[in-house]
Amino acid sequence: MKLLLIIFCFSISLKQVYIAQSKSQTVLNSVSTKIKVLKSFYVEFSANAKNNKSGLNQNLTGKGWVKDQKFYASYGGNTIISNGIKTWTVVKDGKTVYIADANSNDDENMNPKKLMTLWESGFNNSYTNESTLNGKAVHVIALTPKNARATYKSISLYISKSSNDLSKAIMTSKDGTVTTYTVTKFTSNPTIEESKFVYDRKKYPGYKEVKE
């Protein structure tokens, strides 16, 4: 009888996990579909990185323009430009421009399109609960990396129930750093000039170029 009870409880637990994953995957699929059908988009976000052990408490803002496979992003003192073939990462502090193929080192490039759909590879997901964010109903979904050597320990996503937009992401690293990204503006299908995705070295005099 005791064994049957244990098996029954285990079966119920597995069913609850399956339901939670099914619900979260449905929500995430809706967000991915919405992003992928856009010809272009513009996003603004704020970020706070905090680590109590090291005393880190840093606030930054960022912007991103995306058109097809091309993007331009600025975050703190860095700028990343990609024409879909090459990617130029401009690091202001070191006065260095790193040049790489667009498909290489994807995890290190701040591609707004990838960040807005980061759950598509390398993560398991589970539905946490429904909540409110700035007075609006949101889905809260937990991501855990499949790779034990991943930088992040966990990620919590806050997705609008009414619009299927990603509103906030809280990323917890293994070193204890908690980074909170909040989307402050999102514009679908804006007109973006092709010149936005062209790297012009004349704008960065004195910068060293490094090919990766």
Torsions phi, psi for 33 (to 5 deg): -60, -40
- Domain CATH for 119: 2.50.20.10
Q: By mean pLDDT, which of 6-15, 25-34, 35-44, 143-152 is the weakest?
A: 6-15
Decide if pLDDT at 18 tops 50.
Answer: no
Contact status, residue 202 vs residue 79, Cβ threshold 8 Å? no
The mean per-residue pLDDT over the stretch 98-105 comes to 82
- Tell me the per-residue pLDDT of 177-192, one tens digit each, with 9 for 90 and over: 999 999 999 999 999 9
The number of distinct structural domains making up the chain is 1
**Residues in Cβ contact with 54 at an 8 Å cutoff, skipping those fewer than 6 apart:** 176, 177
* % helix, strand, coil for the chain, step of 5: 25, 45, 30
Decide if pLDDT at 15 tops 60.
Answer: no
Which residues span the domain enclosing 115? 2-211
CA–CA distances in Å: residue 151 to residues 113, 122, 136: 20, 12, 31
- The side-by-side arrangement of strands in the sheet containing 136-145 is 123-133, 136-145, 152-160, 166-173, 178-188, 40-51, 56-67, 70-75, 78-82, 86-91, 96-101, 208-211
Average pLDDT, the chain: 86
